[in-house]
Structure 1
Amino acid sequence: MAGEETGNVTVSDELLAAKAAPLIDKLVADQIASKIAAQDATLWGPDAEHEASIRLSWTTLYKSSRPLIGEVEALREELRGEGVDRVVLAGMGGSSLAPEVITATEGAPLIVLDTTDPGQVADALAGDLERTVLVVSSKSGGTVETDSHRRIFVKAFTEAGIDAARRIVVVTDPGSPLAELGRNEGYRTVFLADPQVGGRYSALTAFGLVPAGLAGADVARLLDQAAAAAQVLGEDNADNPALRLGAAWAAAHAEGAEKVVLADSGSGITGFPDWAEQLIAESTGKRGTGLLPVAVAGTDAPGFADAGSDATAVAIGPASAGAKIATGGPLGAQFLLWEYATAIAGRLLEINPFDQPDVEAAKAAARALLDNPAALEGGETPSAVDGAVQVFASEGVTTEGSLADVLRSFFARAPEHGYLAVQAYLDRLDDASAALLRPELAKRTGLQTTFGWGPRFLHSTGQYHKGGHQNGIFLQITGDAETDLDVPDRPYTLGKLQHAQALGDGQVLTEHGRPVLRLHLTDRAAGLAQVVRAVQEVAP
């Protein structure tokens, strides 16, 4: 079967000869690929068996999701007949990353709200509500960010004289609080996803297909691509691309390369590293081990071709300079390929790839702060102030001198082969220039550097930060918002929620003994410019 249909993966001969080939042989002998396809829950050990037994339906979604095709198309035509063609998705993590990649790849317009930044949510509200349908997507049915978005949009629809219930489509698991709410409130449609698929493996469930299909993406083609790939990915032979990819990751990890640098090399897929980032980090980053995905802008980005001994460069698309691994194939095939490979890597790393034991800690800390308003309002004193930048630091992080001095001292806290995580609790659209910090910092610190928009990354790499290799340092960037948004029937605003999420996560990281430096921008534009200048003063 042609590589473009199956999602083949190629691995450098050097890496295979060193470590991956014996692992592949063992995987083939143990029939791991066919057992995954048959949903054998015993593959990850007795401690993982219960969780795995209710998390393996992703292997057959290319068949079981077929009925959604007609249902989504019918709803799309019905909405368009009413003049509703603007799709806004409220969802986090697995509920937002896959549909964002699908629609971006196909050029289908979808507005994704996976933020608590009031400015970004206000921009979504400022669009034409008369043409808007809101897809509220949450597996648990209780995701605080998504529930806040729903409440804000219900109020906005109602104030505009629009029947809110007719403009809300729900995607959730059967029996969730959101499913019950959707029925009680009479929301337009409630799609129930397969409950035996975890969020990060849910690209080809209702969570991925409903918002993407409503936006105009060809979801039938995605399932066709996955179906073609499934025939190869479930085979027990050394040419199986999933076995090769998972074994390559594990072999590199055994040699000290616990980071995986992801870049598109001309695949025709838009944003795939961001989806793969959650899949890999949340699946493998636990029990003090795992693979840290580092999503970069391209194969020429700092940290890719010069990845170093602690990282493996992976190209999505044709092989490129510096890449030790390259994967090919259309999007539906790639989804399934990487899911198989991640499950295989989990077995080789001896962890459960289907749980996320450390995600709840940051959520609990944020809730505690929301319950204690004094901790959020005037309860903080910066260690230093430099223009529009207030400096807050965990114990042991020096805050003396200029902002550049503070950064130099902070970067020096990283252990050998550690990593730097930049966490921007800002507006992903209006403050997009913050993402330019990643390549600058990677170049100047020599560290593998990740960049995440908060709280989006909390549903992604957040698990690895607490459960994976404990060699990271964490640079948080927060900022005052020009305006704030009340969350109806809740005792907090979006701005306070965003602030609590940043402080809560920082608190948990500090409790894990990790250095945390938070730069708070009292003026976002001026503060970001200051931070950029300070970074540029740090010698490479």
Structure 2
Amino acid sequence: MTTQTESTYPAGVNLLAKAIQSQLEKLKEINFVERFNQRDVTLWTENKDDQEEVAHRLGWLDAAENGGQTVKEAEKLLKEVLSEGFTHAVVIGMGGSSLAPEVYSQFITTHGEEQKNYLVLSILDSTSPEQILSLQKRIPIDKTLFIVSSKSGTTVEVKTLFAYFWEQVSQVDAKGAGKHFIAISDPNTQLQKLAVEKGFRKAFEADPNVGGRYSALIAFGLVPAVLAGYDGEKLLKQSLSLSSMPISINDAGVQLGVVLGAAYASGRDKLTLLADAPVESMGSWIEQLVAESSGKEGKGILPVDVEPLLSMEDYSTDRLIVYLRADGHFDERVSELTASNQPVFTCRMPELYDLAAEFYRWEVATSVACILMGVNAFNQPNVQESKDIAKQMLGVLKAGDDLEITEPLWQDETLALYGESAHKHVSAQAYLKDFILQGKSGDYIALNAFIERNEDNEIKLEELRKSLTRATHLPTTLGFGPRFLHSTGQLHKGGENNGLYIVISQDEAQTLDIPGEGISFNNLIFAQALGDTQALESHNRRVMRMHFAINSFNKTQLTDLFRL
């Protein structure tokens, strides 16, 4: 006779069999299935105020069922703009408003399906002047539709990026600027009012009962997906294949959630994502969903995304590997990992429209894992901290005053280091070595880079990640700011204090003013880097900020700086 664990859970996670059985028993004890299907908010929190918020955050369970009208309106919009000669679309958004559209955009390209009616979709979720200008060079402004997307309608990055591109569009189409913009936001937000005031072509109202990171299958995700060429009805149908049925203990999402919970209970809190190229973009979306949902109250599951391939001995024993499998490219590596006593769970996604069901599976899984961990999956109590500090700094700059910045530990003409050290050193290498060697088993190293997210910078930082893991055997993560503040930022401040944070900032070569604000994007991204650093320090995190002079980051061999 086989146990439920043996019969329904894949062999790759046999290492976790006892922990899985324990988590299944826990779900049975709390009458999980019945309570989940009744949407019992006490599954996630006993706090009365928090329960009210959770009650208004479960709309994602009905997203596929309720999405038909949004799809129809998006299809009508696509037909309209194509007939007027539009060729491109840009999502201006952060976090949940940008990550799902990014997945949709990259998925449809990498799966190689023939597209007939679509706009070339790009995502802008950065305040880096270089990244803004780089995108601007790639698009024909007069044939581009800008999707201004913000749940709250007040996101600072979205407001400032809109102001910039409104001015750019107005220079080529002063009277018809509004037709180049649509809005996606909750009802009655400042953004909805702005859309009316400025004469936007269209304003979509998103379901207010869905949190940002769970919004892949409502307007924030569906509208960009349809504009990028997806059959919206087919997306909804694929999601309904899972979401239309009541949750059971053998549900695909529950199964994955139990594995996440079992791994966490076993000390494996580093969710290492291994993804075939066609589905690699899914990792950033999973990263936000899992980190922001679970990373609070001193707990958290840390997603490790787009990690360089390592030698088997460099994979620490605090990991759960999840393989996002499309074409089987990493089948051999998965066999090696399993043979090295690493638990591996495989999610199979061979077809383009499997994406919709996979979104839903991960949403269920994350909510289940949070129940097992004893945290509220639907709040983000620490996200605002970095934003508030940055806002205060911008107020200082707008007033014409200088920011107060602590004295550097070390500096030369290209680099300054900011942080704390018990020793005086004569080189940057010595300070950085001291900092990294604070790491111990169970820790991780986070690279928080407030610079342009481009291929060269990604390659450079991935090389550093590999070098650091090889030297320390610690997992590493990479986040580009301010994008990651809306993703892993919650876990960095609210999760377990087991991170070593390297914040990278720089003096930008080009100055790019924010229309009507009296400051530049240079000021904004620098304030965001400082704000994140100070927020981490306020939680007694171990932080080192590296600030590079103009053009110095590109010329610096980072692996030489971190000789351990």
TM-based fold match above 0.5: yes
- Alpha-carbon offset, residue 41 of structure 1: 2.0
C-alpha RMSD of the superposition: 2.3
- Alpha-carbon offset, residue 479 of structure 1: 1.3
1 CA distance for matches of 2:424 and 2:402?
22
Please name the residue that 1:119 is paired with. 130
2 CA distance for matches of 1:41 and 1:390?
48
- 5 Å-filtered alignment, 1:56-67, equals 56-67=58-69
Match of residue 146, structure 2, among 134, 140, 163: 134
1 CA distance for matches of 2:402 and 2:123?
27
2 CA distance for matches of 1:304 and 1:178?
49
2 CA distance for matches of 1:353 and 1:38?
17
Match of residue 309, structure 1, among 309, 317, 329: 317
Match of residue 479, structure 2, among 452, 455, 462: 452
- 5 Å-filtered alignment, 1:12-411, equals 12-28=12-28, 30-33=30-33, 35-47=35-47, 48-107=50-109, 109-126=120-137, 127-162=139-174, 163-231=176-244, 234-237=246-249, 239-265=250-276, 268-297=278-307, 301-302=309-310, 306-317=314-325, 320-321=334-335, 322=337, 323-329=343-349, 330-373=354-397, 379=405, 381-386=407-412, 388-393=414-419, 395-396=420-421, 400-411=425-436
Q: Percent identity among equivalent residues?
A: 34
Whether contact under 8 Å (2:447, 2:503) holds in the other structure is yes
Corresponding residue SS for 2:535: helix
Please name the residue that 1:3 is paired with. none
Letter in 1 for 2:122: I
Whether contact under 8 Å (2:213, 2:289) holds in the other structure is yes
Corresponding residue SS for 1:470: coil
- Alpha-carbon offset, residue 532 of structure 1: 3.2
Corresponding residue SS for 1:182: helix
- Alpha-carbon offset, residue 23 of structure 1: 1.6
Check 1:68–1:220 CA distance in 2 against 1; reply closer, same or farther (3 A cut): same
Matched pairs, number: 524
Letter in 1 for 2:124: L
Match of residue 512, structure 2, among 457, 482, 485: 485
Match of residue 427, structure 1, among 447, 452, 456: 452
- Alpha-carbon offset, residue 343 of structure 1: 0.4
Please name the residue that 1:530 is paired with. 557
Check 1:527–1:132 CA distance in 2 against 1; reply closer, same or farther (3 A cut): closer
Whether contact under 8 Å (1:118, 1:481) holds in the other structure is yes
Corresponding residue SS for 2:323: strand
Whether contact under 8 Å (1:384, 1:399) holds in the other structure is no
Whether contact under 8 Å (1:139, 1:199) holds in the other structure is yes
Structure-2-length-normalised TM-score: 0.88
Whether contact under 8 Å (1:226, 1:336) holds in the other structure is yes
Whether contact under 8 Å (1:264, 1:297) holds in the other structure is no
Please name the residue that 2:115 is paired with. none
Please name the residue that 2:113 is paired with. none
Corresponding residue SS for 1:110: strand
Whether contact under 8 Å (1:95, 1:208) holds in the other structure is yes
Letter in 2 for 1:192: E
Whether contact under 8 Å (1:388, 1:527) holds in the other structure is no
1 CA distance for matches of 2:299 and 2:312?
22
Check 1:98–1:387 CA distance in 2 against 1; reply closer, same or farther (3 A cut): same
Deviates more, 1:480-489 or 1:15-24: 15-24
2 CA distance for matches of 1:11 and 1:405?
45
Q: Structure 2: where are the runs of 5+ without partners?
A: 1-7, 110-118, 338-342
Residues 220-270 of structure 1 deviation map (CA, whole Å, 9 limit, x = unaligned): 3222211112256x4323x3222221111112212222221112146x423
Check 1:427–1:392 CA distance in 2 against 1; reply closer, same or farther (3 A cut): same
1 CA distance for matches of 2:29 and 2:240?
25
2 CA distance for matches of 1:414 and 1:218?
48
Letter in 2 for 1:236: S
2 CA distance for matches of 1:517 and 1:93?
25
